[in-house]
Amino acid sequence: MTRTRRRILSLCLTLALVAGAMAAAVQAASGEPEQTTEPERGTMTYTEPIAPQYEAAKLFSEGLAAVRQGGKWGYIATDGETAIPFAYDFACPFSEGKAVVGREEENGLALGFVDHDGKYTPFTGWGKPLLVQSEDWQADTDCYFYNGYVRLPAGAGWALYDAAGQAMGAQLVPLHTMTEGLTPGYSASARLGRGYVDRDGQAVLYWDGPEYFGAPVTTADGLRAQSYRFVSGVLPFNQGLAPVWQGTADASQNWAVTYRLGFIDQTGEWAILPAYTNCFVSGSDAAWEVFGETGLAMVQNEAGLYGAIDQTGRTVLPFQYQELWPYSEGLAPFRLGGKYGYLDPSGQTAIPARYERATGFSGGYAAVYDGERAFLIDRRGREVTGSDKLDTETYFQEGADGTKTAVNPGEYVVIEEGGQYGFGRLEFLPPLPEAGEMDAWAYGEVVAAVEADLVPVELQCLYRQNITRAQFCTLIVQVVQRSEEKDIRTVVREETGRSLYDWVGDYPFADTAGADVMAAYALGIVSGRGEGTFDPYAPITRQEAAAFLYRTAKVLGMETAGAAESAFADHDQVGVWFRDAVAFAADRGVMGSTGANRFSPLAGYTREQSFVTVHRLFQALEGEE
């Protein structure tokens, strides 16, 4: 590609850490995986599968991209074929199997959504279709479904609309979409009213007045007054905690108000007292994560410096950074002395602070700018070969005010030539893991699992860390796709008679609608933990891992009956519902003892252990073919 003739306009990340929360289980639009030549490890390859031909374009999501042609928006697949006709005046990317679209009408822009089949559903609230004024609706506005709801304008405020297109009659005006079954909001009538509503729209946590404290004081005009506190801002929940702003008015200081950030639990009690002045959030659009993949929140103290705390409020990383972002793929961007670098999980510098700009890692790489050029680096800080062949603007954009920002592209990027738009594709395989990243006993089999394409790129790090229930689902989906040599959406439809996004649309869990979790759920591999929750961030237990592997083997046609009862010394501690699975895993050599002939059913399960066992399961499956 000639560096002077193409310009990347839209990218997956802009100084944001896009984690797996919004990631679809697959990217290909067809039912079968795309047949492409595997790129060399550590080297980036670039192709242009869809030549510039559209008036405007947005990024691919769930295998479809919104493009405009003849003044109307429609959707195309990754092969360039039209998937949804060009019939709309406004279109957003897909999420949870749905994309918000709009049609110009006499009184405004009528909003609704389409599914992957192009079926249109209008948004309706209080018996009326949802209309917004085009001039008040910015052209680059994108709306996303998240956990079954999308936040849209409604009258003078906002409302949540569900997957049936109906407005929720909530007691509070929503500030965000639904996370973990709760939505932050404010009262339209009470000036200090802040709180959270549940899926029924009921305010289950609510603060509407000041809390007085301390002894009364006499003001300069002779009045008796008392200091007070009040909730000034509420933010979404993540991993059971929500950041909340508290204002404190000091009567002795002429009512000077200070604001501090703390964290509440789902009962409304302070889990971490308000003592901070800011925090970094990772996620894209509707997705929201404060406690990243390591369970740490990056917060700012009163001195303006960032550090990291855990979910008890304990300081884990010292408050010494000008910026500190949540971990992504095992590394946390930080700024110190005006330069960006990266920390490893122990808080040690993994990549020195030498960049003017930097992003979080995604897909095994991050974008950086060294003051002269922008390029990609891998997780060891090495420049990605081939990343210098793209236009600098692929990684580095200059704003109207002259400021420069590094960006991290996704697999598909929007390209422009002569006022027309198409798509380029970036492919990158990170280098194989090094021995020091994991325990010696696991290294050979983990590398074999990675080489067999059983381990998603985003999980190829933090090998000694316990794997979560949601991450294990991502791993299982990869194994199913690899074994069946089919896209997971095809597998789900063939096995269940329903599409993956039909299953997503059932919204069985209040705390996740992730495509990988829902695919594993649809196939009967995983289940929730009761009361409508999946508990996606919780570490998986060894007996749960055995059950998930056992059910995966069943889905893939492996003979699972006939395994002798396990002879582990702690067999009686294995849950009744898990004993067949543990017996199968032990009999097939998929899982073994943790030492002293013990299975340790309730212990956590690390990523390296997970990768070893899925590789053994994959080998066992191949042995039965």
Q: Which domains does the chain show, CATH number per domain?
A: 1-17+284-418 (2.40.128), 48-162 (no CATH), 170-276 (no CATH), 435-624 (no CATH)
In sequence order, which residues have a C-beta less than 8 Å from that of residue 467 and are 6 or more positions away? 459, 475, 539, 540, 605, 606, 607, 609, 610
Nearest to 208 by CA among 232, 175, 241, 225: 232
**Percent of the chain beyond pLDDT 70?**
88
In tens, the pLDDT along 236-247 reads 999 999 999 999
| Residue 282 confidence (pLDDT) | 79
| pLDDT (0 to 100) of residue 164 | 95
Q: Report d(CA 65, CA 36) in Å as an integer.
A: 20
Mean pLDDT score, 510-529: 96
pLDDT, tens digit, 9 for 90 and up, residues 579-589: 999 999 999 99
Nearest in space to 207 (alpha carbons), one of 172, 169, 243, 166: 172
Q: Are the beta carbons of 426 and 30 closer than 8 angstroms?
A: no
Task: Give the whole-angstrom CA distance, residue 328 versus residue 359.
Answer: 10
227 falls in which pLDDT band (50, 70, 90)?
very high
Q: Which residue has the tokens 């930080």?
A: 334
Q: Which two tokens stand for residue 452?
A: 């067999």
Q: Could you give the CA distance from residue 521 to residue 495 in angstroms, rounded to a whole number?
A: 12
- Of the two residues 287 and 469, the one the predictor is more confident about is 469
Q: With a cut of 60, say whether residue 260 has pLDDT above it.
A: yes
Q: How far is the C-alpha of 182 from the C-alpha of 205, rounded, in Å?
A: 9
Kindly state the tokens that stand for 276. Answer: 């901070």
pLDDT at 39: 66
User: What tokens appear for 532 in the block?
Assistant: 């409508």
Count of alpha carbons within 13 angstroms of residue 585, beta-carbon side: 27
If one compares 402 and 278, the residue with the highest pLDDT of the two is 278
Above 90 in pLDDT, residue 391?
no
Quick one: the chain helix, strand, coil %, rounded to 5? 20, 40, 45
Range 491-508 average pLDDT: 96
Instruction: With a cut of 50, say whether residue 296 has pLDDT above it.
Output: yes
Q: Is the pLDDT of residue 396 over 70?
A: no
Structure confidence at residue 37 as a pLDDT band (50, 70, 90)? low
Whether residue 339 is predicted with pLDDT greater than 70 in this model: the reply is yes
The count of other CB atoms within 10 Å of the CB of residue 323 is 15
Q: Does residue 1 have a pLDDT over 50?
A: no
Per-residue confidence (pLDDT) for residue 374, from 0 to 100? 84
pLDDT above 90 covers what percent of the chain?
72
> What does the pLDDT read at residue 405?
60
Whether 42 and 433 have beta carbons less than 8 Å apart is answered as no
Of residues 222 and 53, more confidence is placed in 53
| Higher local confidence (pLDDT), 372 or 54 | 54
- 470: part of which helix (H) or strand (E)? helix 469-484
Q: What is the pLDDT of residues 43-57, one digit of tens each?
A: 888 899 999 999 999
Q: Which tokens hold the place of 111? A: 């909003």
Look up the pTM and report it. Answer: 0.88
Tell me the per-residue pLDDT of 559-580, one tens digit each, with 9 for 90 and over: 988 888 888 999 999 999 999 9
Tell me which of 279-288, 451-460, 486-495 is least confident.
279-288
Q: Determine the Cα–Cα distance for residues 463 and 439; give it in Å rounded to an integer.
A: 8
Task: Give the pair of three-digit tokens for residue 330.
Answer: 């095992």
**What's the confidence (pLDDT) of residue 50?**
96
Q: How far apart are CA 396 and CA 144, in angstroms?
A: 26
Average pLDDT, the chain: 88
Query: How many CB atoms lie under 10 A from the CB of residue 337?
Result: 10
Q: What is the DSSP string of 224-283?
A: EEEEEEEEEEE---BTTBEEEEEEEEEGGGTTEEEEEEEEE-TTS-EEEEEEESEE--B-
Query: Which segment of 52-66, 263-277, 286-300, 567-581 scores lowest on mean pLDDT?
Result: 286-300
* Structure-model confidence comparison of residues 284 and 438, the more confident one: 438
Higher pLDDT, 27 or 367: 367
pLDDT at 285 over 60: no
